[in-house]
Amino acid sequence: MIQPRKVVMPNPSPRAVPNQINPPQRLLMGPGPINADPRVLRAMSAQLLGQYDPAMTSYMNETMELYREVFRTENEATVLIDGTSRAGIEAALVSLIEPGDRVLVPIFGRFGHLLREIAERCGAEVHVIEREWGTVFTPGEIEAAIDKVAPKLLAVVHGDTSTTVAQPLDELGAICAKHGVLLYTDATASLGGNTFELDAWGIDVATAGLQKCLGGPSGSAPISLSARAVDVINSRKSIEAGIRVEGDAVSSSPIRSNYFDLAMILDYWGPKRLNHHTEATTMLFGSRECARLLVEEGLPQAVERHRLHGAAMATGLSALGLELFGDQNYKMNNVVGVEIPDGIDGDAGRAAMLNDYGIEIGTSFGPLHGRVWRIGTMGYNARRDTVLLTLAALEQMLRRGGVSVTGGSGVGAALDFYESEGDAA
Amino acid sequence: MIQPRKVVMPNPSPRAVPNQINPPQRLLMGPGPINADPRVLRAMSAQLLGQYDPAMTSYMNETMELYREVFRTENEATVLIDGTSRAGIEAALVSLIEPGDRVLVPIFGRFGHLLREIAERCGAEVHVIEREWGTVFTPGEIEAAIDKVAPKLLAVVHGDTSTTVAQPLDELGAICAKHGVLLYTDATASLGGNTFELDAWGIDVATAGLQKCLGGPSGSAPISLSARAVDVINSRKSIEAGIRVEGDAVSSSPIRSNYFDLAMILDYWGPKRLNHHTEATTMLFGSRECARLLVEEGLPQAVERHRLHGAAMATGLSALGLELFGDQNYKMNNVVGVEIPDGIDGDAGRAAMLNDYGIEIGTSFGPLHGRVWRIGTMGYNARRDTVLLTLAALEQMLRRGGVSVTGGSGVGAALDFYESEGDAA
């Protein structure tokens, strides 16, 4: 039956229609999100494809291959989770953890607390060890805790932007292997801008996001899983009723989430192409371009670029008289913390940077709030011009706020640093 | 300590770098995803903003207001979930359901099975009633099941694209209110193209996605919650440890997911602006534009546009000699099912449409696979030219496949229909 023509009455209470998106120009020099590489945004403007269009599945396969290079792995199971970096963390943890499993979380910043929180919601028996913010654990401290707790899973943040330091992971894989422990790491803030070697370090599962060194928008979470992790997850596989056929797996302890069920997500990305969610095509296009640009540049080259500009920023900030926060031996390449000088209100200083210069710098969480600013140099914004502009504006903001600053000290030190590094622009 | 300059060796095993995204031109006339409105893709190419930039939080507030109009509600709690439509479903169910809660799911297609599956993973005691695919339930049938099961929650799909029919919801709110039952509906496939009245129908929670009548890419899930639903969810609130301060809520039965914890997500979108995930800015820009375009057109006008072009498509398909699938009294405006004619292989026919004409039509799931094609007219593709082009190409494909077709029958009937409706192009 064809539905009859409907007489459409005018909308009785039309709401005002706001204008098109037209964001003010910002230079995002906080701990992320940062400005997206314009090439990533252009890739995201491509028209959509059907979910099983051969062109679409080819793009999915290429994306898997590109992220293998970004994670430095041969893992077949290297895909995207359709959500922000936090979605990637939850997909990893809820798929690995069965209620009652023991999980060890070394906490050295805000995102360690997040891992604990998510693992607890997965029903894990979570044990934590804690370190003062700005410091990291020795491998021995972590092994001692593993000895004591005998966890199924060690879940640890790599670079924690809340403290600007990165936990060294290179010895943890061997320790975990020795104790039969799975090793998960959240590499959201570090990947692409700091050395990260998934296979060489023996990491079982790593997740990331686009909004830091990858130079894209938040909303897609790359993940890579070792064969051992995939086995653990597949042992819990349940094909959902709506598409289940005779003989398909039905688990007695299914993964608690459908959306984050990596067993099903891997069947969707793998040769079976079993329908799960409708892939977020535009985010996939962006995610693919983030990785494509990194692979084109070369991962070691991208890490070196982050080191260079991160060090130039830190040098300039020191020369402005600001004290750097945290153990600088473990500083991430892409973000630096500075103590807010006496007499300056942290939020007012940030507001002045934003309103007067269009530059965003970061506040801090928890014990560091009001005490530390965080300044990033990552992804598309790991550049000489962004470093020098930020230092120039900071000098003006500090002076205006009553701090005694030597004119040109920050920019001068950074320029000298670039010269000493042979980067004479 | 400034990290020493690193001598970067060439990448030892560089992978081949694939080309930029350059998808083939497709006209997506399946059950979704469909082609995005180019204005939505343009909005998504805007540069990013910081998470708490006043411009960003203004866009978030405008997005809430726009989706109130799209859902036809005054619900304050109207926000986006950062994930595909399935993420919206899971956020609603995991936030509402405590393990052991009774949930009633009337199933009349694939996506009813999905609601059951997700509710089961949330730990619910799920009761289902089932109907043959292509039919819908009477309100009396649903009320009888409520009487028997006494659920906390009724979870029902509005339009199920797997069968092309929509369950009438207008009487269910009153029934649920009478029995003290919460009413959740998945409006992913229907919203914007079919009458939907959240407040007038007494719906507690509805979720959607962009990739159907809203004319955007998958990856953002609008959701709206009644005050009653918000109360249920807030009674389970736990602020996460990383940002918890003295006096903050810690629940004894916290929501099982962190990412989908609507109590926290509402605090992020609300005046507290409590940090949760990093909002997927580009998807938010797209989601806002989808709603902005619908509100600009007017919701009743958009529904009428979907009725007009959906009816023209159905008229043309019938005139081509194809039998329409399902109870046409309850057909969704935006998608139609047709029985695949004898002698035609369904997948080969779809491949011919894609490869010869660049037009995608849909296959089916479960009992309808190989038996029914699904053809959509929704969002940006609910247009006269797309209807006529699809009918013209289908005629050629059917003839080439050996089906006897009267030349011009489909297009002719659609043109006549448009004329009879006063839409003479």
CATH code at A393?
3.90.1150.10
Closest to A117 (Cβ–Cβ): which among B1, B33, B241?
B241
**DSSP assignment letter at B12:** S
Alpha-carbon distances of B240 from A89, A103, B46, B235, rounded to whole Å:
15, 18, 32, 15
**Looking at the predicted structure, is the pLDDT value of residue A425 above 60?**
no
Cα of A47 to nearest chain B Cα, Å: 7
Domain boundary residue among B295, B318, B343?
B295
Return the pLDDT at A167.
98
Tens digit of each residue's pLDDT (9 = 90 or more) over A321-364? 999 999 999 999 999 999 999 999 999 999 999 999 999 999 99
Is A212 an interface residue toward B (CB < 8 Å)? no
Do residues B143 and B226 both lie within one domain?
yes
Amino acid present at A122: C
Is B15 part of any domain? no
- Highest mean pLDDT range out of A135-149, A247-261, B7-21? A135-149
Tens digit of each residue's pLDDT (9 = 90 or more) over B359-379? 999 999 889 999 999 999 999
Q: Do B258 and A328 touch (CB under 8 A)?
A: no
Do residues B140 and B256 both lie within one domain?
yes
C-alpha to C-alpha distance for B7 and B81, rounded to whole angstroms? 44
Q: For testing the chain A interface, which of B59, B105, B255, B278 should be mutated: the one with the most A CBs within 10 Å?
A: B278
Is B311 part of any domain? yes
CATH number of the domain where residue A106 is located: 3.40.640.10
pLDDT class of A253 with cuts at 50, 70, 90 = confident
Return the pLDDT at A248.
76
Do residues A328 and A277 both lie within one domain?
no
Q: Are B292 and A21 in contact (CB under 8 A)?
A: no
Q: What is the residue whose two structure tokens read 């706001």?
A: A18
Q: Are strands A165-166 and A159-160 parallel, antiparallel or unpaired?
A: antiparallel
Q: Measured between beta carbons, which residues in chain B are less than 8 angstroms from residue A5?
A: 307-308, 421
Q: How many domains does chain B have?
A: 2
Amino acid present at B344: I
C-alpha to C-alpha distance for A365 and A194, rounded to whole angstroms? 23
Do residues A258 and A306 both lie within one domain?
no
Mean pLDDT on A239-268: 84
Do residues A250 and A307 both lie within one domain?
no
Q: For testing the chain A interface, which of B89, B195, B258, B334 should be mutated: the one with the most A CBs within 10 Å?
A: B258
**Looking at the predicted structure, is the pLDDT value of residue A1 above 60?**
no
Return all residues near B205 (Cβ < 8 A) that are at least 6 apart.
B92, B96, B182, B183, B184, B185, B223, B224, B225, B226, B229
Closest to A18 (Cβ–Cβ): which among B23, B82, B292?
B292
Return the pLDDT at B310.
98
Do residues A279 and A351 both lie within one domain?
no
Mean pLDDT on B214-232: 98
Tens digit of each residue's pLDDT (9 = 90 or more) over B52-91? 999 999 999 999 999 999 999 999 999 999 999 999 999 9
Alpha-carbon distances of B298 from A8, A176, B49, B195, rounded to whole Å:
10, 59, 29, 12
Cα of A385 to nearest chain B Cα, Å: 18
**Looking at the predicted structure, is the pLDDT value of residue B1 above 60?**
no
**Looking at the predicted structure, is the pLDDT value of residue B125 above 60?**
yes
Tens digit of each residue's pLDDT (9 = 90 or more) over B390-414? 999 999 999 999 999 999 999 999 9
Alpha-carbon distances of B414 from A32, A415, B350, rounded to whole Å:
52, 70, 21
Is A368 part of any domain? yes
State which residues form the domain around B174.
38-295
Do residues B85 and B188 both lie within one domain?
yes
Return the pLDDT at A73.
98
pLDDT class of A251 with cuts at 50, 70, 90 = confident
Domain boundary residue among B280, B295, B310?
B295
CB atoms within 10 A of CB A99: 11
**Looking at the predicted structure, is the pLDDT value of residue A241 above 70?**
no
Mean pLDDT on A192-196: 98
Tens digit of each residue's pLDDT (9 = 90 or more) over A78-95? 999 999 999 999 999 999
Q: In A194-245, which ranges are continuous DSSP H helix?
A: 227-234
User: Is B374 annotated among the ligand-binding residues?
Assistant: yes
**Looking at the predicted structure, is the pLDDT value of residue A15 above 70?**
no
Identify the sign of the CA torsion A374, A379, A381, A382.
positive
Closest to B139 measured CA to CA, from B106, B182, B107, B171: B171
Q: Do A20 and B254 touch (CB under 8 A)?
A: no
Q: Are B123 and B100 in contact (CB under 8 A)?
A: yes
**Looking at the predicted structure, is the pLDDT value of residue B4 above 90?**
no
Is B354 part of any domain? yes
Q: What is the residue whose two structure tokens read 């903001």?
A: A397
Q: Do A256 and B259 touch (CB under 8 A)?
A: no
Q: Measured between beta carbons, which residues in chain B are less than 8 angstroms from residue A242?
A: 110-114, 117, 365-366
pLDDT class of A239 with cuts at 50, 70, 90 = confident
Tens digit of each residue's pLDDT (9 = 90 or more) over B274-299? 989 999 999 999 999 999 999 999 99
Mean pLDDT on A59-73: 98
Do residues A154 and A273 both lie within one domain?
yes
**Looking at the predicted structure, is the pLDDT value of residue A250 above 80?**
no
Do residues A314 and A290 both lie within one domain?
no
C-alpha to C-alpha distance for B375 and B31, rounded to whole angstroms? 6
Report helix angle A384-400 to A346-357, nearest 10: 120
CB atoms within 10 A of CB A326: 24
Is B348 part of any domain? yes
Do residues B318 and B401 both lie within one domain?
yes
Domain boundary residue among B295, B328, B355?
B295
Do residues A187 and A271 both lie within one domain?
yes
Do residues B252 and B391 both lie within one domain?
no
Return the pLDDT at A5.
65
Interface confidence (ipTM) of the complex: 0.95
Is A26 part of any domain? no
Mean pLDDT on B108-112: 97
Closest to A289 measured CA to CA, from B44, B20, B217: B20
Q: Are B220 and B80 in contact (CB under 8 A)?
A: yes
Tens digit of each residue's pLDDT (9 = 90 or more) over B163-189? 999 999 999 999 999 999 999 999 999
User: Which phi and psi angles does B106 have, rounded to 5°?
Assistant: -80, 125
Mean pLDDT on B125-129: 98
Return the pLDDT at A42.
97
Is B409 part of any domain? yes
Is B44 part of any domain? yes
Return the pLDDT at B238.
78
Angle at A27 between CA A22 and CA A31, to 5 degrees: 115
Cα of A321 to nearest chain B Cα, Å: 15
